[in-house]
C-alpha cells in the first residue's frame, strides 16, 4: 500500500517498509513529474555542451568564394598595370619625389602646400632639363596621375592582405592555398618597394649623360615583370578554383598542342616585357613606319653600341626592332596554334579560348602598328599596353583549359 501526494510540482510517495504497519514505519520517496524530468534533462544536455558545433563550410562554397576573391585581386593588379602605363605615357612618374607609406596618402590641400610640393619637384633633373617652364597647374596634373597610381597600389595591397587574413582565420585555405596566398602577399610588398626603387633611378643626377631624365628601363621592366607574375599567379589560382577540369584523352596530338601552347604563352610574356624597354627608352618614336624601319628592313644603327649585347637593352632602334620581331612571332605562333587545334576534338570552352586568343592577337598587332604610325598618341598607346595584358590573360586561360588532370 502506498500514498501519493503532489505538492509544489513534486510527487511524494509514502511506501510501507519491511511489512511494518503503515502508520509507524514508512518510507518517504519523492520524484518529479515527467514534464519536470524532461526539462531537467534538456537543461543538463545543454549545460554539458557549452559550445555549439558550427558545421564546416562545404569545399565547393569555400573554393568558389576564394576563387572569386582571387579574380578580383587579379583585376585590381590589371588596373594598376594600365594606370602605370598611362602614368609613364604622360611622363608623370617623377612628379612625387619622396615616398611615405601613410603620410603621402593625404594630397596637398592649400595653395601653400602645393607651392611647397612644386618647389621639391623643381630641385630634380626632370624639371631642370625637361619641364623648366612648367606651371603649377600643369604640375598638379602630373602629380595627381602619379598619386592615383600609388593610391591604387595601396588598394591592391589591401585587396590581397585583408581578405587573406580573414580566409586564413576562417579555415577557407588548405595547406597549398596558404603557401600561394603567402607568396602573393609577399610579392605585393616587393612590388611596392620595387616601384619606389624604379622611381629613384629617374631622380638621380647623371652628370655624364645628356639624355632626358627617365627611369631606368631595366627597373621598369622588372617592375612590370613582377606585376605580370602577380597577375598571372592570381588569375591562374582563381581559375583553378572556379573552372572544372576537362577530361581530355592524352593523345600525341594533344600533348603536342599543350607544349605549343606553353611556348606561345611564354613568347607573349616576353613580348610584353620587351614593351617595357620600348616605353622606358621612348623607342616608339624612333622609326614611325611599317613594315620597314625608315627606308630599310634592317636599319643601319641596329648594332651601333659596343659591346653588341648592350644594343638589345639600351639602343632604342634595336629595342624597337626586337619588339616588332617578337610581336610578329607571337601572332604567327598563335595562328599556327589555332590551325593545329582545328585537327583535334576539343571541348566547346577550350575552342572559345583558342578563338579568343587568335582574335585578340590580331587586334593587338593592329593596335601596335597604329600606335607606331601615329607617333604614339597616349590613348592609343594605353590601349595597346592594355591589349598585351588581355592577350596574356587569354593565353593563360587556354593553358588552363588544356592542363593535365593530376592522378
pLDDT attached to residue 209: 63
Residue where the block lists cell 624597337: 320
pLDDT band at 309 (very low <50, low <70, confident <90, very high): very high
Query: Is 70 exceeded by the pLDDT of residue 57?
Result: no
Query: Is 90 exceeded by the pLDDT of residue 73?
Result: yes
* Burial category of 335 from C-beta neighbours within 10 Å (exposed 0-12, middle 13-18, buried 19 and up): middle
pLDDT attached to residue 33: 47
Per-residue pLDDT of 332-362, as tens digits, reads: 999 999 999 999 999 999 999 999 999 999 9
Three cell numbers at 179? 603557401
- How far apart are alpha carbons 284 and 272 in whole angstroms? 14
pLDDT attached to residue 27: 44
Specify the pTM.
0.83
- How far apart are alpha carbons 64 and 50 in whole angstroms? 32
Radius of gyration of the chain (CA): 35
Element (H, E) at 354: helix 348-373
CA 221 to each of CA 30, 81, 150, 264: distance values in angstroms, whole numbers, following the listed order: 88, 12, 18, 20
Query: Is 90 exceeded by the pLDDT of residue 11?
Result: no
- Summarize the confidence of residues 294-301 as an average pLDDT: 93
Query: Is 90 exceeded by the pLDDT of residue 387?
Result: yes
Query: Is 70 exceeded by the pLDDT of residue 13?
Result: no
pLDDT attached to residue 230: 97
pLDDT attached to residue 173: 93
pLDDT attached to residue 247: 79
- Summarize the confidence of residues 66-87 as an average pLDDT: 96
pLDDT attached to residue 59: 79
Q: Give the rounded percent of residues in the chain with a pLDDT score beyond 70.
A: 84
pLDDT band at 296 (very low <50, low <70, confident <90, very high): very high
pLDDT attached to residue 47: 44
Per-residue pLDDT of 104-131, as tens digits, reads: 788 999 999 999 999 999 999 999 998 9
Inter-residue contact 363 to 400 (CB < 8 Å): no
Residue where the block lists cell 607617333: 375
- Summarize the confidence of residues 248-264 as an average pLDDT: 91
Per-residue pLDDT of 164-206, as tens digits, reads: 999 999 999 999 999 999 999 999 999 999 999 999 999 988 7
Inter-residue contact 388 to 275 (CB < 8 Å): yes
Amino acid at each position: 500500500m502506498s500514498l501519493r501526494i503532489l505538492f509544489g510540482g513534486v510527487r511524494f510517495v509514502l511506501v510501507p517498509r519491511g511489512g511494518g504497519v503503515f502508520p509507524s514505519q514508512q518510507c518517504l520517496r519523492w520524484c518529479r513529474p515527467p514534464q519536470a524530468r524532461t526539462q531537467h534533462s534538456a537543461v543538463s544536455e545543454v549545460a554539458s555542451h557549452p559550445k555549439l558545433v558550427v558545421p564546416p563550410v562545404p569545399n565547393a562554397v569555400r573554393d568558389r568564394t576564394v576563387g572569386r576573391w582571387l579574380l578580383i585581386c587579379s583585376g585590381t593588379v590589371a588596373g594598376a598595370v594600365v594606370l602605370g602605363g598611362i602614368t609613364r605615357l604622360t611622363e608623370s612618374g617623377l612628379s612625387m619625389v619622396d615616398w611615405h607609406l601613410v603620410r603621402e596618402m593625404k594630397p596637398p590641400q592649400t595653395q601653400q602646400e602645393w607651392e611647397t610640393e612644386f618647389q621639391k619637384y623643381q630641385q630634380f633633373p626632370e624639371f631642370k632639363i625637361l619641364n623648366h617652364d612648367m606651371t603649377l597647374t600643369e604640375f598638379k596634373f602630373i602629380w595627381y596621375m602619379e598619386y592615383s597610381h600609388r593610391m591604387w597600389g595601396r588598394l591592391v595591397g589591401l585587396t590581397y592582405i585583408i581578405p587573406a587574413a580573414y580566409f586564413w582565420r576562417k579555415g577557407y585555405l588548405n595547406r597549398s592555398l596558404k603557401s600561394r596566398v603567402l607568396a602573393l602577399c609577399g610579392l605585393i610588398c616587393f612590388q611596392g618597394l620595387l616601384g619606389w626603387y624604379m622611381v629613384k633611378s629617374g631622380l638621380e643626377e647623371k652628370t655624364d649623360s645628356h639624355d632626358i631624365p627617365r627611369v631606368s628601363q631595366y627597373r621598369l621592366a622588372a617592375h612590370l615583370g613582377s606585376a605580370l607574375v602577380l597577375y598571372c599567379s592570381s588569375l591562374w589560382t582563381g581559375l583553378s578554383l572556379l573552372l572544372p577540369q576537362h577530361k581530355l584523352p592524352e593523345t600525341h596530338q594533344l600533348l603536342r598542342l599543350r607544349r605549343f601552347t606553353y611556348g606561345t604563352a611564354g613568347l607573349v610574356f616576353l613580348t610584353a616585357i620587351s614593351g617595357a624597354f620600348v616605353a622606358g627608352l621612348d623607342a616608339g618614336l624612333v622609326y614611325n613606319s611599317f613594315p620597314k624601319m625608315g627606308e630599310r628592313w634592317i636599319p643601319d644603327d641596329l648594332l651601333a653600341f659596343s659591346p653588341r649585347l648592350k644594343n638589345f637593352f639600351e639602343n632604342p632602334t634595336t629595342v624597337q626592332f626586337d619588339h616588332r620581331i617578337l610581336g610578329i612571332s607571337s601572332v604567327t605562333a598563335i595562328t599556327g596554334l589555332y590551325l593545329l587545334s582545328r585537327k583535334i576534338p576539343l571541348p566547346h570552352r577550350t575552342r572559345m579560348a583558342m578563338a579568343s586568343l587568335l582574335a585578340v592577337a590580331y587586334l593587338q598587332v593592329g593596335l601596335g602598328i597604329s600606335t607606331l604610325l601615329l607617333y604614339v598618341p597616349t590613348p592609343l598607346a594605353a590601349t595597346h599596353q592594355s591589349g598585351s595584358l588581355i592577350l596574356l590573360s587569354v593565353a593563360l586561360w587556354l593553358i588552363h583549359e588544356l592542363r593535365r588532370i593530376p592522378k
